[in-house]
Amino acid sequence: MINKDFFQALDDLEVEKKIDKQTFISTLETALTSAYKKMYGEAKSAMVKLNPEKATIKIYSYKTVVNEVEDPDKQISLSEARLIKKSHKVGDVVLTEESTKDFGRIAAQTAKQVVMQKIKELEKQMALAELAEKEDELLTTIVKRIDNGTIYVQISNSHTEGVMLPADQIPGEKFNIGDRVKVYVKKIKDSFKGTQIQVTRSNVGFIRKLFELEIPEVLSGDVKIKNIARDAGNRTKVAIYSEKPNVDAIGTCVGFHSQRIDTIISEINGEKIDLVEYSDDPLEYIAKALSPAQVISVETNESLHSSRVIVPDDKLSLAIGKNGQNVRLAAKLTGWKIEVKPQSSLANATVKEPEYELTELNDDDAFEALNNFEEIEELPSMDEFKPDSEDNE
């Protein structure tokens, strides 16, 4: 039967696993009541009460006082009730303590099963609650297994593993069992199969968290990230700015001898990163977003939320990028539809096009092509792109 040692064990569980003892008591009383009714008849009204202070268990059957008895298992006549206690009246509940002699073995078995089941249930709930706090966070994990391209990683300080699908991996990167790998937790869900943590290295959230990790000013808010556009494994554009006039957002993110940005690039296996200084002026913002290409002028049509950018003829391929990558990312970053035209097209224009607001960029505003970027010779079949929806966060 449940004894003093049992209640002491509940006290120990409360301390070791930080599980409220009263949670066990309430669950046990419900389970033991159910077991008692199965043993002595479901029709009988009964309840089990545990008293941790006295280390006792008591079973009570109860009946409602009525004038005329219709259900003997649940009702008692007023005359019978007053034989037990003279003050009883119709509607009162009469409790009768039942013997636990024949119920001891069943009670002990039930208690053990309930406690073990409740421990598992509560541990799962606590683990899920703790993991829920890690959603949208960067974690360092260990590769546990690899199955058909899907990578399963061990989450530190938990018995739960994260799942990184092929689409959530940076193209071209390879991992081995036991490798330590940083991942971004994009979703945590609980299903009949258990808790599943979806992690990724390919979305923009991963880049944002790397910037917060490696650049203290981003984490503190001195430098803010306006938006991120990413083609995982190839190129990422990050629009940044600072509301503090004495803070150079670009220089802060690059770091001394490019140490900060190089650390981030190394983590994403050499993926190129364009740091773009955000501007409230869409003309300036669009021009900067097309970095590393040089821009002569930007024209915008507010009603269509589109823009036309003029670049030197010999920089057209650089502005558009291989397979349209550069202008596509610029469109995604700025939220503007961007059409790139060579300077020579102005002289040859014969077709009437939508009216644009034209703003010439002077030499100080124009972006010079960066020396460390080679011009791309291959031109895409289209030179007009719409901003894509945000990467799968």
What integer pLDDT is reported at residue 210 of this predicted model? 97
Say if CB 206 and CB 200 are below 8 A apart: yes
**Could you tell me the CATH superfamily of domain 283-393?**
K homology (KH) domain (3.30.300.20)
Least confident of 27-36, 287-296, 303-312, 374-383: 374-383
Q: Rounded mean pLDDT of 247-265?
A: 96
pLDDT band at 55 (very low <50, low <70, confident <90, very high): confident
Question: Of how many residues is the chain composed?
Answer: 393
Greater pLDDT, 18 or 303: 303
DSSP letter (8 states) at residue 53: T
| Mean pLDDT taken over the chain | 83
Residue with tokens 């479901």: 42
What integer pLDDT is reported at residue 95 of this predicted model? 85
Q: Rounded mean pLDDT of 84-103?
A: 83
Residues of the chain with CATH 2.40.50.140: 138-199
pLDDT band at 163 (very low <50, low <70, confident <90, very high): very high
Classified by CATH at the fold level, domain 203-278 comes out as: GMP Synthetase; Chain A, domain 3 (3.30.300)
What integer pLDDT is reported at residue 372 of this predicted model? 37
For the cut 50, the answer to whether the pLDDT of residue 364 exceeds it is: no
What integer pLDDT is reported at residue 128 of this predicted model? 73
Using DSSP's 3-state secondary structure scheme, residue 351 falls into coil
CA distances from 382 to 286, 289, 325, 338, 339 (A): 19, 19, 11, 12, 10
The tokens describing 38, both together, are: 């199965």
For the cut 90, the answer to whether the pLDDT of residue 168 exceeds it is: yes
Each residue's pLDDT tens digit, 197-207? 899 999 999 99
Say if CB 334 and CB 300 are below 8 A apart: no
Each residue's pLDDT tens digit, 40-51? 776 577 788 888
What are 277's strand-pairing partners? Answer: 240
Residues of the chain with CATH 3.30.300.20: 203-278, 283-393
For the cut 90, the answer to whether the pLDDT of residue 114 exceeds it is: no
Residues 16, 9: Cα–Cα separation, whole Å: 10
**Could you tell me the CATH superfamily of domain 4-130?**
NusA, N-terminal domain (3.30.1480.10)
Class in CATH terms, 138-199: mainly beta
- Biggest CA–CA distance in the chain, Å, is 113
Dihedral (CA of 144, 167, 212, 247) sign: positive
